Structure 1
Amino acid sequence: MIRDLEHADYPQVAALQNAHYLHHFDHSPQQIENSDALAREKYGSRFGRIVLEQEGKVQAGLLFYPPLELSGVFRFQIFGNPAHYSALYLDFLTRVSPFSPRAVESVVREDMQDMDFLAHAGLVNRYQSWGAHLKLSSFEYSRFQLLEEKLFLDGYELNSLEHSGSEALWQELYVLFLETWKDAPYNPTTTPDFSSFEDFRDSVDTGRAFYAAARGKIVGYTLLSRPSSKGEVSSEHTAIHPQHRTKGLATTLKATALEWARREGVREASTGGTVMNLPMLRVNQKLGYAFEPMWCTWWLELNP
């Protein structure tokens, strides 16, 4: 039986979902329920969670919502027993049909069990992105000090900015974001959805922005999110003005951010990006990140 998720289902759903994501993103039943409540406020009837119950036990589930950065598209995540994926997927398509979506998509890691199902269901592997982690106990900032000194001699000055810092500096960072994001390789799962200045600044929260200035003008930045409950920070976005690229600014800014996090007692850092962004891939290799299996965005046009 396929039905809407109920409050009593959250413990079973949490167990299935955490196992599906190979325990990389473990969430408690309460955390998932809280997240769902926020999603319902944000998306209304366009958000949903359905489960397939058999003999009184949840066997599989599906979550769906319309990502704000993709008009007319529904994103879905499926988890649990693969034998029930087809039934859940068809039920999902029926539920969203009144909204006349132009496409549906799902984002999964290449070592997860729903890859085969999505291919058989007719979706296309449209985008690929990578994720990576770095244990800060092994991070050595000294490897990048000569590069920082060279940049200083070339007229670059590095600084950091808190969420509550100068409004004018944050505005300047946001202007640089607007100038640079369009020439970066696009991937809907890794291109940041900073639809407003507030979204941009809030991505840092209790973390930090680190920026480089030349002749009094900001020419590059990297954003580091707040430390999570697991003692991990995330590198949210890095951008360098086109006229100041290939000088090592991105590497130095990210190294400076990682050293700040290490001194704050953070144990691990994560980052990611589209496979098409080779310069950023090389930067993160230099920093010592360990790369993980790719994330794949599967896509199906419903009204081509």
Structure 2
Amino acid sequence: MSEAITSIRPFAEADRERVVELWNEAFPFESTTVEQLAHDDAAVKPPRRAGRLVAESRDGIVGLADFEQPVGTFDPGTYWLRIYVAPEARGAGVGAALYDEVSLLLSAFDPERFRVFWKEDHPVAAEFAGRRGFVEDKRDWEMVLDLTEFDADSHRSFLERAIKQGLTISSLEQWGDATAIGPDFHEFFRQVRQDVPRNEPLSDLSYQEFTDYVLEAPDLIRDATFFVFDGDAPVAMTMSWFAGDPLELHTGLTATLGSHRGRGLATALKVTALSWAKEQGRVRAVTENDVHNVEMLTVNRKLGYVQQPALISGVRELTPR
């Protein structure tokens, strides 16, 4: 074990606030809150596995190794790992020790592959992954919009176009009570996520999983998650998330049914959500786009989002398929 740390141990409830702090330093575009992390931990049910280890020094927790089998791409042999070391503890082997410990922990379950993540502008992390046999297979641009410079009126034509088509825009809160709309939202969500670029094959979300991870997620902003409706049926949506900073809006999935694409609905929804955020006094909007998702990248660039260094993910095959 690295001399910079006194122990590596399983996560405990008392660690949650510090773990959230480290997570948000490492993954600001996927930031979370204490409430959301606790909710997500409680939602993990067999056969899925998830958990984390923490590295302690004499001054407290300085690193974490988080592992999960994502609910939306569940594969029994695949584990996503996120390893982060606080700046003051870097260069002393803490990350290597965490990787070795989490690998040993997961070896009891006969894993077939690991997936890790690193930032394009973090060459040490890229080297760390490469030395351990990880091969890049996906990139997502991180995008930032300065809401103080955002002019909703200049994009008003997209809203007017939707209205002229006989379509309406409503928030999740306006759509109705979660119990009442849940089944329709679940089916719509199932359809629109089919074409989202992802690392592993899609797995279906049961209604309970959808309820846990979407409908009842603490950080989902119901007032700023918007839908386009054709009659009573949702045909497009954009999801908005709170991630700990009251000055930011995090945009999640934005998607349109194939039957309604090419009508500017994604842009209309984004303009609606960004206008809401600006009215609420938020100053930044952030999102991520797969580098090959040309349509959504075009929408975001048109709205003024500025491309940041990419989030890269790579996979290591542990056993032959």
TM-score relative to the length of structure 2: 0.76
Stretches of structure 1 that go unaligned for 5 or more consecutive residues are none
CA 1:257–1:195: 2 relative to 1, 3 Å? farther
SS of structure 2 residue aligned to 1:303: coil
TM-superposed CA distance for 1:258, in Å, is 1.0
User: Which residue in 2 is equivalent to 1:61?
Assistant: 63
Residues 24 and 30 in structure 2, CA contact (< 8 A), matched pair in contact too: no
User: Which residue in 1 is equivalent to 2:53?
Assistant: 49
- 2:191 corresponds to 1:179: yes
Where do 1:100-119 residues align within 5 Å? 100-112=110-122, 113-119=124-130
Stretches of structure 2 that go unaligned for 5 or more consecutive residues are 2-6
Q: Which moved more, 1:127-136 or 1:291-300?
A: 127-136
Where do 1:1-304 residues align within 5 Å? 1=1, 3-4=8-9, 17=22, 21=26, 35=37, 39=41, 42=44, 47-51=51-55, 56=58, 61-69=63-71, 70-71=74-75, 72-80=77-85, 81-84=90-93, 85-112=95-122, 113-162=124-173, 165-166=176-177, 167-187=179-199, 195-196=206-207, 197-198=210-211, 199-203=213-217, 204-226=220-242, 228-304=244-320
Tell me the alpha carbon deviations over residues 8-51 of structure 1, each in whole angstroms, 9 at most, x when there is no partner.
x969x7699479639778899xx59x958974884798523142
SS of structure 1 residue aligned to 2:161: helix
Q: Which moved more, 1:132-141 or 1:70-79?
A: 70-79
Tell me the alpha carbon deviations over residues 77-99 of structure 1, each in whole angstroms, 9 at most, x when there is no partner.
22332441334323332222111
TM-superposed CA distance for 1:240, in Å, is 0.7
SS of structure 2 residue aligned to 1:146: helix
What residue identity is the alignment partner of 1:146? Answer: S
CA 1:160–1:22: 2 relative to 1, 3 Å? closer
CA 1:241–1:168: 2 relative to 1, 3 Å? farther
CA 1:139–1:227: 2 relative to 1, 3 Å? farther
Tell me the alpha carbon deviations over residues 118-164 of structure 1, each in whole angstroms, 9 at most, x when there is no partner.
01111111211122122222111111112222222222222223188
Residues 192 and 237 in structure 1, CA contact (< 8 A), matched pair in contact too: no
TM-score relative to the length of structure 1: 0.80
Q: How many residues in Structure 1 have an aligned counterpart in Structure 2? A: 297
CA 1:38–1:217: 2 relative to 1, 3 Å? closer
- C-alpha distance in 2, partners of 1:267/1:26? 17
What residue identity is the alignment partner of 2:190? Answer: L
Q: How much identity, in percent, do the aligned residues show?
A: 24
CA 1:270–1:195: 2 relative to 1, 3 Å? farther
Residues 74 and 104 in structure 1, CA contact (< 8 A), matched pair in contact too: yes
